[in-house]
Amino acid sequence: MWQAQHVQALLIQGGAQVSLLGMTTQGDQILDRSLSKVGGKGLFVKELEVALESGAADLAVHSLKDVPMDLPQGFSLACVMEREDPRDAWVSPHWASLQDLPKGAVVGTSSLRRTVLLKALRPDLVIEPLRGNLDTRLKKLDAGQYAGIVLAAAGLKRLGLQERIRRVFEVDEMLPAPGQGALGLEAMQHREDVIEAMGALSHQSTWLAVSAERAVSRAMGGSCSMPLAAHATMQGEYLTLHAAWGDLEVPGRILRAHTTQEVADIEAAQKLGTWVAQQLIDQGAQHQALA
């Protein structure tokens, strides 16, 4: 809702009239199992796409990392906004950093990406599932179920909870998920009026970066059941892309690939992402066929 209200305020500043249609998705409701076991990240967007298709809503606001790599026919990722902090955050009431934890401490996350990267940093830790909205996750932490938890820094900052962040992981420690920290706006392809209205909110360098990141995921299979990380940054005309794949069968085995190339448009960014994904596959990363 914060994200929707944020987009609403920006569009109103531009002269549009905007109302909110609050919805709860399956991804919000199913909290006792990991996303990889109940249908993946698409659980956060399905109901919103039904509202778009029926005309009940004109646009949908998503955390881009929750948006499947390929949208259904007739739908369009019409806008990518400027990215907030893409990094992961360490949150703990007692321990200032991951390295301060005692041996065998319990850390909460339901992300396979975070799990393999945490295990690479601290093989002795016990990683336990953690689902729910931010308030729910923080309450579980404060109740003593975990020594610490790992969350997206962007979500904490957007909700004014940055004081809960004890430390932000640098990207060379915990490479972010594709699209992490960015908002994506979805609309029906034929709604040219809506797409045009969102144009002023678009941030080109973010769009190029996340296009490369999402292309890595698409080439690898695009599933949240895969421990995959990808993060890109733009410096002038040059895009630097880092990707990593973790082996669930061999804890601590992380395959990495990166490159820097000149990128002028989304197609070039996507080709770069596909190339980096192939470097991971060539090293032994397992591609997953799309269902």
Using the CB atoms, write b or e for 231-262: b if 16+ within 10 Å: bbbbeeeebbbbbbbbeeeeeeebbbbebebe
**Structure letter (DSSP) for residue 132:** S
- Cα gap 181→209, rounded to integer Å: 12
Contact criterion met (CB below 8 Å) for 67 and 140:
no
Count Cβ atoms within 10 A of the Cβ of residue 7 and give its class: 0-12 exposed, 13-18 middle, 19 or more buried: buried
- Catalytic residue (choose from 28, 58, 66, 70): 66
Residue 28 designated active-site: no
25 strand-pairing partners: none
Contact criterion met (CB below 8 Å) for 148 and 92:
yes
Q: How many CB atoms lie within 10 A of CB 10?
A: 15
What does each C-alpha distance from 202 to 16, 165, 184 come to in angstroms? Answer: 16, 28, 9
Active site positions, annotated: 66
